[in-house]
Amino acid sequence: MADGNSGIGAGEVRALIRYVMRHVKPKWGARVAVISNAKALKQHIADTCGLPFIDTAAEHLGECTGTDSDVRDTLIDFALLARAGEIFSWSHYPWKSGFSYWYAVLHAIPFVQIPPLGMGERLKRRLVYMRWRAIQLASALGLIRN
């Protein structure tokens, strides 16, 4: 399950796909359903990882603004979760998906929160840049010799 697509960077998407390929697919094969409120992200993960794509729209039913098809699609997602042997969840936000988490808790299905992805790569690049910049400044100030 992936939660949201607002502000998701390409690095995060690549890291999420790597995670699925390294940790989810080896264990579950093609018996994985990608559920997301970000249709384009869901389609991309399914296509890239060779997983089935189930075209459902996510709706927050607690807001009571959904149509009959929104309710149907949410029930389809619940049915998919009901058949899960394990639920993997990733969110771009600092919280986990309540939709999948509480379903897992209520039905005693193992729940794996995928850690934030892509941040490590950005942090490494930033640290390398900062080190390079510090050397440049120290050299310009005559504090070190090249």
Residue 127's domain spans which residues?
A: 117-146
The pTM assigned to this predicted structure is 0.68
Whether residues 11 and 57 fall in one domain: yes
Instruction: Report helix, strand or coil for 55.
Output: coil
Tally of domains in the chain: 2
Residue 123 has pLDDT above 90, yes or no: no
The structure tokens listed for 116 are 């934030």
Radius of gyration of the chain (CA): 20
- Rounded distance between C-alpha atoms, residue 80 and residue 99, angstroms: 12
Query: Any idea what the CATH number is for the domain that residue 36 is in?
Result: 3.40.50
pLDDT at 108: 93
pLDDT digits (tens, 9 = 90+) for 35-54: 887 888 888 888 998 888 88
- Rounded distance between C-alpha atoms, residue 118 and residue 98, angstroms: 22
